Chain A
Amino acid sequence: MQDTIIENEKKKPDGKNVIDDGVEQGLAKLTPERISSVINQVLTKEVGPRFKAYVETCMRCGLCADACSIFLSNDRGPEFSPAAKVKQTILEMIKKKGNVSKKVLKDAVRISYTECNVCKRCSMYCPFGIDIAYMMLQVRRICHKLEITPLYIQDTVNSHSATMNQMWVKEDEWIDTLQWQEEDAREEFEDLRIPLDKDGADIMYSVIAPEPKFQAGLIYQTAVIMHAAGIDWTMPSFPGWDNSNMAMYTGDFEISGRIAQAHYEAAARLHVKKIVMGECGHAFRSVYDVGNRWVGWSMPPVNLIHAIDFYHDLLTSGRIKVKEKYKKTVTLHDPCNVSRGRGLHNKAREMVNILCESFIEMTPNREHNYCCGAGGGVINCGPPWKGTRMVNNREKKEQLERTGAEVLIAPCHNCHSGLEDIVEHYGIGMEVKFFGDIIYEVMEKTVYKKNNLKEG
């Protein structure tokens, strides 16, 4: 794997030259019969009327093209337009009745997994509202069934399936990490707790697995915020704690459903009123829209809110008070999945204004914001694709640069990692932060209201 990465770095970043071992090994095993049977099975048995309507409605008018930051980043290269992505992939499969070459499949993997963030921005500009992201997810579904998914994201899904978290975090490592963060945070509040499995707590807090794996400090910060706000909360010690879901993005809808099931099952078992999830966009999409619906829950069966909603409530209700506003100039990246997907952009702005002295809007913004360029599982395709991702993110980089802000708030894990890559790659002098980082820094570290019994 390492050799492949070095090899790729030497070349000019062009997706067509990328060698991804997962894709290559998968393609090598395919026979023409298997290719056509899988494609036809998905096209005839799985896709709904929505799919057929889209295929028949698209006028190739190209109005969606300028909506796509990947198209813009590639000098408006026609093959990067949303409609062209469909044409090169699913339309080709339909036209050939599933009898497509491995070359077509290899292109389909590149286009659907790495040149589309399934961010749905283009749909807003299409006169018919055609959902290109949905079409790309159907391409991914086919690639998943053909076992030609990119290696890194497949490994993530393998982890999901075996451990119900995306980073192979073992059950004891998870609990141990929480207990260690709890112990550290007692330096600030001697009676602080990260209550595990507290039956009947008001709130279950869920995170994505990179937090315990690499960014345990984020759990620490949240614990301090929860404690200071006097929240009756808990975290499950058992699987279901990870709200992330890369299976939804590889096209493994079955595993995606099991992940969502485990998450809500944990909340029901703990008898909580509400789930608060950390600052992650795709995870929100997974538990609010996708995974839950695959298993048959039309809406989240347990009330679920994104951290933006939760923190907004803490700040506006006075449960968390700002000691001194954040001084550096900040800009805000609206994550597609909670902005276009959930309309949280105005609350996010209100929060920035409560927390920070100086706010500079980026343009476009709110539901029109460009994707961070990492979303939709693109960053999860890993190092082989990083070079082309940076090329595809040029437009995003320009959008960030235009703000001139010192700090970039990105309330989404994927966005966060992707934006850090952009900042580093293009040498933009910006710090990327979560809302949690800023709140932790500016909040008054006092407890809002002590429970009579001093129970945590």
Chain B
Amino acid sequence: MKDKKMWDWETPRKEIPIKEWQDRFVWIEEPHVSCDGEKIASIVNTDEAEFNVCCNGETWDEIFEKAWSLKFLPDGRLAVLVSNDEEWTICVDGISWEKRFDYIWDLKNTPDGSFIGAAVQKEGLYGMVVNDTIWDSLYENISGTILSNQGASAAVVQVTPLGQGDIEGFSQGIFSIAVNGIAHPESFMNIWDLSFDSKGKQIASSIRKNRVDYSIIKNDALWEKNFQFSWKPEFINNNNSVIAPVRQNGKWFLFKDDMPLWDKSYEQLWKLALHEDGRKIAAIVSDAFGKWTVCENDTAWGLHFDTMISNLFYSDNGDSLIATVKNQGYWDIAVNGKSWNIRADKLWDPVVSSNNEILATRMEKDGRFYLVVNGKVYKDHFDRIFEPAISPGNDKILLKAVKNGIYSRQILTLDKVL
């Protein structure tokens, strides 16, 4: 990511009118905004089966027959999946990759934006492409693609063809994990929830061995125990250990390296959050049917939510454990066991300041979009709002939103918001 310090944190307000785009183009799709808020872009239709990308009013040179999945990368570049003459590729800032595919989807990038990857299909075979380099081997099918922070790629691939209705063949195990295009020799009935270690060197996942037995695999080593089910594992302890939610006797447990880690069992336990390599571990749990809470190092919050917890994560310094929750039909943010009580209709995960003191996010309520900081709703409302950012000095909020056809990038001092 471009150093946040280099962003313009001074100019109070910059505007880009986008309403006029609708007169220039046949139609425009929903806009996307760059992290620094300086650019706004949409896929636009210019004629029958003619698409382009319009960024801050400028279009690219090349026109496409199809374009979808527009995305700003963390470094401010703009990527989109495009097709001409029935060939697909990725176009970044108007320059298409050299490689062409019969189809491309599942566009993803590393946190710094330096690696861009996607799932691809070429002549009926499947693999991944990363920074314009396609896997050496392609497979019958692909699912669950992931990219490590360093740009390593992995997916579940089908290594053996399967005839129609061949349930016997299926039970032999036709799926393997492919890392950077190379399939592991072991194959299984099902593989889900791929998870790289922090260096992108090792991989773990949920495995189904047969009709009823599930387990966890770390690289090529299966845990010895069989479980009734499992969810996504994570690496901890300098990448030496793997933890995973597993089901035994109808209850969910957290296991580490094939052994129980937490004492208590739950009705449900999934989506692990980690801090400092597993010194703190948290999970979304249900400790009674239909009641959801957060559990940190085997101790549950006192607070419960009746609908859902969608995401859970730690602030960078680990002091805050943040959950996006839904209770009685409304979305909310809960931090270290306390709710904001904002009752949103739509709500996104918050961003957190480096000093851990500010949490900023956006929500929709009664058809209007708002900025929310530390549970306080900013007075202005918008037709559309994008992910806010917090200044490196932790004293300003970057607000990016559209109102009445005008995109505005505003710098708000904290006292204005709180």
Residues A170 and B141 in contact in the complex (CB < 8 Å), given A271-B347, A299-B290, A453-B22: yes
27 contacts between A and B (CB under 8 A): A22-B167, A45-B249, A144-B211, A147-B211, A151-B165, A161-B189, A161-B208, A162-B141, A164-B143, A170-B141, A172-B121, A176-B103, A183-B49, A193-B29, A195-B29, A195-B30, A196-B68, A199-B30, A237-B106, A254-B229, A254-B247, A273-B364, A295-B268, A296-B286, A452-B383, A453-B19, A453-B383
Chain A residue numbers with a CB within 8 Å of B253 are none
Q: Is the CB of B214 within 8 A of A254?
A: yes
B66 at the A/B interface (Cβ < 8 Å)? yes
Name the one of A190, A254, A301, A455 contacting B307, with C-beta atoms under 8 angstroms. Answer: A301
Among A145, A195, A268, A452, the residue within 8 A (CB) of B211 is: A145
User: B212 and A145: CB pair below 8 A?
Assistant: yes
Query: Which residues of A are found within 8 Å of B214, using beta-carbon distances?
Result: 254
Residue B135 is within 8 A (CB to CB) of chain A in the complex? no
Contacts of B27 in A (CB 8 A): 191, 454-456
> Taking the complex as formed, is B267 at the interface, i.e. its CB lies under 8 A from any CB of chain A?
yes
Contacts of B103 in A (CB 8 A): 172, 175-176
Asked whether any CB of chain A lies closer than 8 Å to the CB of B219, the reply is no
**B residues in contact with A299, CB < 8 Å:** 290, 307
Other-chain residue from A144, A179, A298, A454 in contact with B22 (beta carbon distance below 8 A) = A454
In Å, the complex CA distance between A268 and B310 comes to 7
The A-contacting residues of B in range 344-372, CB under 8 angstroms, are: 345-348, 364
- B side interface size, CB within 8 A: 66
What residues on A are CB-neighbors of B45 within 8 Å?
191
Q: How far apart sit A190 and B28, CA to CA, in the bound complex (Å)? A: 12
Q: Report A248 CB to chain B, min CB distance, Å.
A: 15
Q: How far is the CB of A40 from chain B (nearest CB, A)?
A: 15
- Expressed in whole angstroms, the minimum distance between the Cβ of A174 and any Cβ of chain B is 9
- Kindly count the residue-residue contacts between A and B in the assembled complex, taking CB atoms under 8 Å apart: 137
Cβ of A239 within 8 Å of any chain B Cβ, yes or no, is yes
Q: Which residues of B contact A252 (CB under 8 A)?
A: 211
Among A151, A200, A302, which residue has its beta carbon within 8 angstroms of that of B308?
A302
- Residues of A25-47 whose CB lies within 8 A of B: 25, 45-46
Which residues from 147 to 162 on chain A have a C-beta closer than 8 Å to any C-beta of chain B? 147, 151-152, 154-155, 158, 161-162
Q: Take A154-B167, A171-B106, A453-B19 as given contacts and tell me if A271 and B348 are in contact as well, using a CB distance cutoff of 8 Å.
A: yes
Given contacts A254-B228, A271-B348, contact A296 B268 (CB under 8 A): yes
- Measured CA separation A252–B229 after assembly (Å): 11
A260 and B192 alpha carbons, distance in the complex (Å) = 15
- Tell me whether B105 is interfacial, beta carbon within 8 Å: yes
From the candidates B119, B166, B249, B289, name the one contacting A171 in the complex (CB within 8 A).
B119
Q: Which 9 A-B residue pairs are closest in the complex by CB-CB distance?
A: A298-B290, A301-B308, A296-B268, A172-B103, A191-B27, A296-B286, A268-B310, A158-B170, A454-B22
Q: 1/0 per position for B101-132, CB-CB distance to A under 8 A?
A: 01101100000000000010100001000000
A258 in the interface (beta carbon within 8 A): yes
**Which chain B residues border A271 with CB–CB below 8 Å?**
346-348
Report the nearest B residue to A262, measured CB to CB: B192
For the complex, give the distance between the alpha carbons of A190 and B46 in Å: 11
Interface size on A, residues (CB 8 A): 60
CA distance A214 to B289 in the complex (A): 38
Residues in chain B near residue A179, CB distance under 8 A: 66, 68
B190–A161 touching, CB < 8 Å: yes
Distance A307 CA – B208 CA, assembled complex (angstroms) = 35
Within 8 A of A (CB), among B313-328: 326
CB-defined contacts of B171 to chain A, threshold 8 Å: 147
New contact pairs (10) apart from A296-B292, A297-B308, CB-CB < 8 Å: A155-B164, A158-B167, A170-B141, A171-B143, A258-B229, A296-B268, A297-B307, A452-B405, A453-B405, A455-B30
- Decide yes or no whether B84 CB sits under 8 A from chain A: no
CA distance A345 to B28 in the complex (A): 40
B residues in contact with A199, CB < 8 Å? 30
User: A273 CA to B48 CA in the complex, in Å?
Assistant: 32
Question: A456 to B29, Cβ gap below 8 A?
Answer: yes
Interface residue from B29, B106, B170, B192 paired with A455 (Cβ < 8 Å): B29
* B18 at the binding interface (Cβ < 8 Å): yes
Q: How far is the CA of A83 from the CA of B253 in the complex (A)?
A: 39
Q: Which residues of A contact B18 (CB under 8 A)?
A: 453
A303 at interface by CB-CB < 8 Å: yes
A272 to B348, CA, bound (A): 11
Q: In whole angstroms, what is the CA distance A176 to B101 when docked?
A: 13
Q: In whole angstroms, what is the CA distance A199 to B384 when docked?
A: 11
Q: Return chain A residues, CB-CB under 8 Å to B267.
A: 296
In the complex the two chains form, is A297's CB within 8 Å of B69's CB?
no
Which of A271, A298, A453, A456 counts the most B-chain CB atoms under 10 A from its CB?
A453
User: Across the interface, which residues of A come within 8 angstroms of B192, CB to CB?
Assistant: 258
What is the distance, in angstroms, from A297's C-beta to the closest C-beta of chain B?
A: 7
Q: A175 to B29: give the CA distance in the assembly, Å.
A: 17
**B87 on the A face (CB < 8 A):** no
Is residue A264 within 8 Å, beta carbon to beta carbon, of the partner chain?
A: yes
**A contact residues around B326 at 8 Å (CB):** 301
B290 CB contacts on chain A under 8 angstroms: 296-299
Instruction: Name A268's closest neighbour in chain B (CB-CB).
Output: B310
Q: Mark B160-181, 1 if CB is under 8 A from A, else 0.
A: 0000111110110001000000
Cβ 8 A contact of A155, one of B69, B165, B268, B329: B165
**Cα–Cα distance between A152 and B164 once the two chains are bound (Å):** 10
Q: Find chain A residues with CB under 8 A from B30 CB.
A: 195, 198-199, 455-456
Q: Which residues of B lie under 8 Å from residue A453 when comparing CB positions?
A: 18-19, 22, 28, 383, 405
| Distance, CA A238 to CA B170, complexed state (A) | 23
Q: Nearest-CB distance from B265 to chain A (Å)? A: 13
- CB-CB nearest in chain B for A22: B167
Q: Which residues of B contact A335 (CB under 8 A)?
A: none
Say how far A262's CB is from chain B's closest CB, in angstroms.
Answer: 10
At the interface, yes or no: B250 with Cβ under 8 Å from chain A?
yes
The reply to whether B308 and A268 contact each other, CB–CB distance below 8 Å, is: yes
Residue from A46, A147, A175 within 8 A of B250 (CB atoms) = A46
Query: Does A197 sit at the interface, judged by CB under 8 A?
Result: yes
- The interface bits of chain B over 45-76 (1 if a CB of A lies within 8 angstroms of the residue's CB, else 0) are 10011000000000000000010110000000
Task: Tell me whether A257 is interfacial, beta carbon within 8 Å.
Answer: yes
Q: Which residue of B lies closest to A150 (CB)?
A: B167
Q: Complex: how many Å from CA A437 to CA B346?
A: 32
Selected contact of B167 from candidates A145, A155, A163, A196, CB within 8 Å: A155
B26 CB within 8 Å of chain A? yes
Give the docked Cα–Cα distance between A251 and B211 (Å): 11
How far apart are the CA atoms of A264 and B268 in the complex, in Å? 15
Q: Which chain A positions have C-beta within 8 A of B308?
A: 264, 268, 297, 301-302
Give the contacts of B280-305 with A (CB-CB under 8 A): 286, 289-290, 292
Task: Give Cα A95 to B189, complex, Å.
Answer: 35
Q: Write the nearest CB–CB distance from A432 to chain B, whole angstroms.
A: 26
Q: Give the residues in chain B near A264, CB-CB below 8 Å.
A: 308
The CA-CA distance from A272 to B25 in the complex, in Å, is 27
Contact between B167 and A151 (Cβ–Cβ < 8 Å)? yes
In the complex, what's the smallest C-beta–C-beta distance from A231 to chain B, in angstroms? 14
* The residue from B165, B190, B345, B404 contacting A273, defined by CB atoms under 8 A apart: B345
Q: Is B244 an interface residue (CB 8 A)?
A: no
Contacts of A59 in B (CB 8 A): none
Residues in A whose Cβ lies below 8 Å from that of B26? 190-191
Which residues of B lie under 8 Å from residue A239 when comparing CB positions? Answer: 143
CA distance A22 to B165 in the complex (A): 9
Query: Quick one: which of A125-172 are within 8 Å of B by CB?
Result: 144-145, 147, 151-152, 154-155, 158, 161-164, 170-172
Complex CA distance for A22 and B166, rounded to whole angstroms: 9
As a 0/1 sequence over residues 211 to 248 of chain A, the CB contacts with chain B under 8 angstroms (1 = contact) are 00000000000000000000000000111000000000
User: Given A170-B141, A190-B26, do A303 and B329 touch, yes or no (CB 8 Å)?
Assistant: yes
Contact A175 B364 (CB under 8 A): no
Decide yes or no whether A1 CB sits under 8 A from chain B: yes
